[in-house]
Amino acid sequence: MDQFLWVVVPYLCLAVFVVGHFWRYRYDKFGWTTRSSQLYEDRLLRLGSPLFHFGMLGVVGGHIIGLLVPRSWTEAVGIDDHLYHYVAVIGGLLAGILAVVGMVILIYRRRTVGPVFSATTPMDKVMYAFLAVVIVLGMWNTIAGSIFTIGGEYNYREGVSVWYRSFLAFQPDAALMAAAPIGFQLHALTAFLLFALWPFTRLVHVFSAPLGYVTRPYIVYRSRDDVQLGSHRPRQGWERVGR
């Protein structure tokens, strides 16, 4: 069971994530968009969207540090566990609260503003459910696990993070995850399911963050597509004879 949950499922999800994005990009460039609903409603979005997105940027940054930087590295530069814990909890809490507040505003907006709700696809709803569960579980782990230590002391840098790095190195150690508290287990599992959903939702817009805008010239010139004029390919100049 441990092997299934912490080796098979994560790799399956990772595979779906990677192949799914590749397929979506090839098949559905036209559908690759933020699908903004700002045209319908502005006031709540103006508040909720930046809160959520900047909060999420912080959350993602925190995860990268927490999961990818080994404990030995931070100790080597003289950051002891206590200091690390302090910074991580404060930063994580701050970013998490921003994201949760933003998310609550956005979900409230999506449900109550008529045009926005009617522009919501079933896939959006599934995605929102997973995203909310993952975020709430993450907050629970931070608050209950790290601050009030409900369910005992657990240093994720010795467990989850090590497992995650072993997972990325394709030498997964399922036992580390099996030993983690249930909150962390659920958070990781739902997050992986969210990753599997990712390429099929509007979340793909994360990968079109327009960083190239900073360096490209303002005006883009492009040559006409010479392969075809208008919408039709030119017909061949003769008819086929016989079969």
Partner 1 sequence: MRVMAQMAMVMNLDKCIGCHTCSVTCKQAWTNRTGTEYVWFNNVETRPGLGYPRTYEDQEEWKGGWELNKRGRLTLRAGGRWKKLATIFSNPKLPSIQDYYEPWTYDYETLTSSPASENFPVARAKSLISGKDMNVEWSANWDDDLGGSREHAARDVMLKGIEDKVKMEFEETFMFYLPRICEHCLNPSCAASCPSGAIYKRSEDGIVLVDQDRCRGWRMCVSGCPYKKVYFNHRTGKAEKCTFCYPRIEVGIPTVCSETCVGRLRYIGLVLYDADKVLEAAAVEDDHALYDAQRACFLDPDDPEVQRAAESAGIPADWVEAAKRSPVWALINKYEVALPLHPEYRTMPMVWYIPPLSPVVDVIKDTGHDAEDHGNLFAAIDALRIPVEYLANLFTAGDVEPVDRVLRKLGAMRSYMRDINLGRDPDDSIPAKVGMDGETMYDMFRLLAIAKYEDRYVIPTAHAEQAHALEELATECSLDFDGGPGMYESGPFGEGSGRPTPVAVENFQMLRDRQLSDTLAAPDDKSTRVNLLNWDGKGVPTGMFPPRPDAQPDVPDAGLTGGTGGQGSHPPGDRPGEDSGRGKG
Interaction with partner 1 in 55-114: which residues (CB under 8 A)? 114
Least Å distance between CB 31 and partner 1? 3
26 binds partner 1 (CB under 8 A): no
Q: Is the dihedral of CA 103, 107, 112, 118 positive or negative?
A: positive
DSSP, collapsed to helix, strand or coil, labels residue 165 as helix
Query: What is the Cα–Cα distance from 213 to 194, expressed in whole angstroms?
Result: 29
Q: Among 26, 82, 152, 224, indicate the residue that binds partner 1 (CB under 8 A).
A: 224
21 binds partner 1 (CB under 8 A): no
In 69-159, where does DSSP find H-type helix? 71-76, 81-112, 114-118, 122-140
113, amino acid identity: V
85, amino acid identity: H
DSSP, collapsed to helix, strand or coil, labels residue 242 as coil
DSSP, collapsed to helix, strand or coil, labels residue 218 as coil
Least Å distance between CB 198 and partner 1? 13
CB nearer to partner 1: pick between 111 and 205: 205
Cβ neighbours around 178 below 10 Å, total: 15
Interaction with partner 1 in 28-57: which residues (CB under 8 A)? 28-42, 45-46, 49-50, 52-54
Q: Among 123, 147, 150, 168, indicate the residue that binds partner 1 (CB under 8 A).
A: 123
Structure tokens belonging to residue 149: 């230590």
Give me the 152-191 binding string for partner 1, x by CB under 8 A, dash otherwise: ----------------------------------------
- Per CB under 8 A, residues contacting partner 1 are 27-42, 45-46, 49-50, 52-54, 114-115, 118-119, 121, 123, 200, 205, 208, 210, 212-214, 216, 218-224, 226-234, 236-237, 239, 243
